[in-house]
Amino acid sequence: MAIRMLFRPYKPIHIFGKHQDELAKQLGKLVVDHLITPGSIQSKVINDASIQNMKIFVQAEVKKALSTQKVLLNCLINWE
């Protein structure tokens, strides 16, 4: 809610002596520089739970692809 309030109302207002748009830019820079870092992304993506979830997803997609390929192959073979 607090972040949403930074971007509304659409008319410029002053917060702590700064314009809302400048405050929003500075907040965005803070997020990019300190919260969304390569290390934070890596710690969220490369962990045991995510790797297990990725394996399950890939296995399901491979099964779907192989199943589709079998169906297409059977259709071609039986198409006469």
pLDDT digits (tens, 9 = 90+) for 12-56: 666 666 677 788 888 888 888 888 888 888 887 788 888 899 999
Tell whether 51 and 32 lie within a shared domain. Answer: no
Q: Is the pTM higher than 0.85? A: no
Tell whether 29 and 3 lie within a shared domain. Answer: yes
Tell whether 32 and 1 lie within a shared domain. Answer: yes
Instruction: Please count the structural domains in the chain.
Output: 2
Which residue is listed with tokens 């820079």? Answer: 29
Tell whether 5 and 28 lie within a shared domain. Answer: yes
Q: Domain of residue 80: give its range.
A: 46-80
Tell me what pLDDT residue 40 has. 83
Position 58 in a domain: yes
Tell whether 50 and 69 lie within a shared domain. Answer: yes
Tell me what pLDDT residue 50 has. 87
- Is-contact 21 9, C-beta < 8 A? no
- Integer angstrom CA distances of residue 6 from 28, 29, 35, 40, 70: 11, 14, 18, 25, 54
Position 10 in a domain: yes
Position 41 in a domain: no
Answer with the residue of higher pLDDT: 75 or 59: 59
Task: For residue 1, give both structure tokens.
Answer: 């809610």
Answer with the residue of higher pLDDT: 56 or 71: 56
